[in-house]
Structure 1
Amino acid sequence: MLVWERPEPSDRPAPAPLSRERIVGAAVRLADADGLEAVSLRKVAAALEVGPMRLYGYIATKDELLDLMVDAVYAEIRPAGDGWRQVLHSLAEATRQAAHRHEWFADLIGGRPQLGPHTLAGGEAVVAAMDGVALDVTVPAIAAVNAYVVGAVRREITERRAERATGMDKEQWQAAYGPYLERAFATGRFPALATVVRDGPHLDPDQTFRTGLDFLLDGIGARIPD
């Protein structure tokens, strides 16, 4: 029986009350503070001031704990709007914002479908907004938006982590590598890249995300009859 369906132990007198919700909340706080490497059943138990064995009545493995953590974040993602475009846009923006609040979330999405109740509720809202659109458009359209968001947020989170690891923000990194690029472009071997770097738009992360998302939604719209 999957963790979503398995009942929790019945209440009993104990020095510290326990529930899956409390366990997951503690794990999310640990991950938010120090990344997924800070999450283990032992560390979660210590944060809750209980023995590690007490957790096994609620969660059998660390993988179950990670599944519950992901679903807890999906509770923050509430796609809304009038019509398919607004709902898909809302899904993308809300997922990105959740990943910014919980960087570790970006490491756990994009693989096999998440099946927790909050995740399913969000999926239901998105599919319902596509009502009237043929399934052979609906399914790849939703998959394309999810793939775009996963790629975009992973790129942004990787940039954040690089800044922390190197002590250089994006502008400082560009300044450090700028002279090398100028020398490379001066050889004449990379004229197209030189034009993009020198004359192309330099968008901030919000503009980059939303422009790319609009391109994607425009393409989906072209597949949907009026």
Structure 2
Amino acid sequence: MTVWDRPEPPTRPAPLDRERIVAAAVALADEGGLEAVSLRKVAARLNAGPMRLYGYISTKAELFDLMVDEVYAEILPEERPGDWREALHGLAHRTRQAALRHAWLADLLGGRPALGPNGLAVSEATLAALDGVADIDTVMRAVETVSAYSTGAIRREIANLRAERATGLSESDWQRARGPHVTRMLATGRFPALAKLVYDGTHVDAEVTFATGLDWVLDGVAARLTGPPA
């Protein structure tokens, strides 16, 4: 039985429910990451005894499932997508924006399917937009391909943001600090391809990088969906 299937206990002696528990957990994670979340800390934020939470949530894994589903409400499309490409494009960008608001989400993306009501609603909206485009197995490979790209790109971006917070150096500051070392290494002539990248490449921000890569992936999916089978 999942956490969504179990009824909640009575609220007495003090008001408490899963909605308040999850909101407190999300706030803690937003402030300090998943490592800042425990049933004891959530209970303290709610001025409740830790044992009371076990009437609502059995494990930390269940709490994480509820937290992810809470954020999936932010990923749901407001309107029915016009076509499959718009659906997958919007899903990827909304997931990225949610992860930028809740960096801990990046640590929980890419695992088993989200089975909460919001997670299921996101999946339903996505699959409905691809209904009839191809057979269901091909549709699933398309969704998985876009998901794999967006999850990897989001995790990389969040890792860079965490490094900035940990070191106090922005990416440009970090590059300047290591510039002399890179210049010396490139001057040896051992890394001509890297030198071409450093001196001739166009450096763009994370949003442009994400959008460009996503468009390339979607182009590949489109070719597979519309082209002849391999």
TM range (shorter): over 0.9
**Deviation of the 1:36 alpha carbon:** 1.1
Output the CA distance in 2 between the equivalents of 1:32 and 1:105: 9
The 5-angstrom pairing of residues 89-108 of structure 1 reads 89-108=89-108
The 5-angstrom pairing of residues 181-192 of structure 1 reads 181-192=182-193
1:119 maps to 119
Q: TM-score, normalised by structure 1?
A: 0.95
For the aligned residues, what is the CA RMSD?
1.2
**Deviation of the 1:160 alpha carbon:** 0.9
1:9 maps to 9
SS of residue in 1 equivalent to 2:110? coil
SS of residue in 1 equivalent to 2:189? coil
Output the CA distance in 2 between the equivalents of 1:219 and 1:68: 34
Task: Deviation per CA, 1:28-67: give whole Å up to 9, x if none.
Answer: 0111111111111111111111111111111111111111
Output the CA distance in 2 between the equivalents of 1:154 and 1:195: 27
1:197 maps to 198
Output the CA distance in 1 between the equivalents of 2:5 and 2:65: 13
Which ranges of structure 1 fall in alignment gaps of 5 or more residues?
none
Output the CA distance in 1 between the equivalents of 2:189 and 2:95: 42
SS of residue in 2 equivalent to 1:8? coil
SS of residue in 2 equivalent to 1:213? helix
Which amino acid in 2 is paired with 1:92? A
Q: TM-score, normalised by structure 2?
A: 0.94
Which amino acid in 2 is paired with 1:91? L
Output the CA distance in 2 between the equivalents of 1:182 and 1:137: 47
Output the CA distance in 2 between the equivalents of 1:140 and 1:224: 10
1:68 maps to 66
Output the CA distance in 1 between the equivalents of 2:138 and 2:204: 30
Q: Which runs of 4+ in 1 moved over 2 A?
A: none
Which amino acid in 2 is paired with 1:84? W
Output the CA distance in 1 between the equivalents of 2:107 and 2:216: 25
SS of residue in 2 equivalent to 1:176? helix
Which ranges of structure 2 fall in alignment gaps of 5 or more residues?
none
Output the CA distance in 1 between the equivalents of 2:168 and 2:127: 43
1:156 maps to 157
**Deviation of the 1:153 alpha carbon:** 1.1
Number of aligned residue pairs: 224
Which amino acid in 2 is paired with 1:131? D
2:81 maps to 81
Task: Deviation per CA, 1:188-219: give whole Å up to 9, x if none.
Answer: 11111111111111111110000000000011
**Deviation of the 1:137 alpha carbon:** 2.3
**Deviation of the 1:182 alpha carbon:** 1.5
